Amino acid sequence: MQTEIRDEQFHTPSVIGTLLRKLHIDIPLFAGIVLLCSLSFVILYSAGGQDIAILMRQATRIAIAFVFMIFLAHINPRHFYRHSAKLYGLGVLLLVAVLVVGLTGKGAQRWLNLGFVRFQPSEMIKITTPMMIAWYLSNHALPPNAKQLFIAFLLIIVPTLLIAKQPDLGTSLLVASSGAAVLFFAGLSWRFIGVTVAVLASLTPVLWHFMREYQRNRVLTFLNPEADPMGKGYHIIQSKIAIGSGGVNGKGWLGSTQAKLEFLPESSTDFIFAVYAEEFGLLGCVSLLMLYLLIIGRCLYIAVQAQDSYSRLLAGSLSLTFFVYIFVNIGMVIGILPVVGVPLPLISYGGTSMVTLLSGFGILMSIHTHRKFLPT
């Protein structure tokens, strides 16, 4: 006897509720996302210089991303499970293709021109890597043994290196962390975690050696932004000025002088949080972080409620990755992390990351709304 589980909200009879349920949409998650996207419009209007055209483009992207989300929410997680390996393989192939024929954008090869649309395979691999690891590990007893760990490690490291080679440090770190998150949720032993951290720490100098010039600059800049206020440290200093001058209450909507007068670079994309913080102050920042926390909480709840290892691991990883996004972006904007090209999820202007993020939420919704009641 299998019945679909209904959340509390689902008990309330309403037209919208019914519609959303039919669409396999998780209402709390959906509400949070809609709220964030609306906020994105509000901030973008100010950060983008009150340009309606920018809002229209962002609206188009959000619409496309929502289509992806709803589409994925409809697919039974069973299918994800079944196609994980194939999707992962496709992703890796595309990454190789990018390196071979990719177009150069902003000094790094990230884009693949599919004729009608430019596409970033590294975004797709952000989802297919945790899928692959979850698929692989869930096929075995958990926690994984040494051999499985090694294979999982290989599966993570291949796309990570391919993206790092583009070079796109931010995305490669996100991919690696999404894979690592699966391992962590799978029950990776604390001893192993400890050893890995130790090894990574000792490998830092080696990593430094392999880093590109601009990546090194970013790290150096992060360590001491004031050393070169007109050059490399400019982003961080201007960003800190924007945030700090916002104070507790902020300068009010459209009140950002830093962004409007072009002192703050990338104010619509990676550094949009600085504009938000300048205009809405500490109170606005706390509210935004709370909203993010609620969404992550809901995601983790979905993960906990998932009914099989694959879903759990994938849901857990997607939730954690979402947080990593937030933390890395805000951390970089407020100057506690080096500058890596990671947008502020659901707020920043930009297409591909929006699609990826909402695809992840679509998968989470799919996992949640396709649960079967399993009596203990």
CA atoms within 13 A on the CB side of 191: 3
Interaction of residue 304 with other proteins, rule CB under 8 A: yes
Give the burial class of 359: count Cβ atoms within 10 A of its Cβ; 0-12 exposed, 13-18 middle, 19 or more buried: buried
User: For the stretch 150-159, what's the b/e string if a residue is b when 16 or more beta carbons lie within 10 angstroms of its beta carbon?
Assistant: eebeebbebb
Interaction of residue 218 with other proteins, rule CB under 8 A: no
List the one residue from 49, 105, 247, 252 that touches other proteins (CB under 8 A).
247
In the complex, minimum distance from the CB of residue 258 to other proteins, in angstroms, rounded to a whole number: 6
Residues facing 112 on adjacent strands: 119
Interaction of residue 281 with other proteins, rule CB under 8 A: yes
Backbone torsions φ then ψ of 312, nearest 5 degrees = -60, -55
In the complex, minimum distance from the CB of residue 322 to other proteins, in angstroms, rounded to a whole number: 10
Among 325, 318, 327, 313, which Cα is nearest to 299's? 318
Residues numbered 81 to 120 that lie near other proteins (CB under 8 A) are 81
Residues numbered 323 to 352 that lie near other proteins (CB under 8 A) are 323, 327, 330-331, 334-336
Which window, 25-33, 123-131, 311-319, 349-357, contacts other proteins (CB under 8 A)? 311-319
List the one residue from 124, 133, 156, 242 that touches other proteins (CB under 8 A).
242
The DSSP secondary structure of 77-111, one letter per residue, reads HHHHHHHHHHHHHHHHHHHHHHHHHPEEETTEEEE
**What tokens were used for 159?**
């796309």
Interaction of residue 303 with other proteins, rule CB under 8 A: yes
Residues 6 or more apart whose CB falls under 8 angstroms from that of 364 comprise: 26, 29, 299, 302, 303, 315, 318, 319
- 141-170 mask for other proteins (x: CB under 8 A)? xxx---------------------------
Interface contacts to other proteins, rule CB under 8 A? 76-78, 81, 138-143, 184-187, 238, 240-248, 257-258, 261-263, 277, 281-282, 285-286, 289, 292-293, 296-297, 300, 303-304, 307-310, 312-313, 316, 319-320, 323, 327, 330-331, 334-336, 374
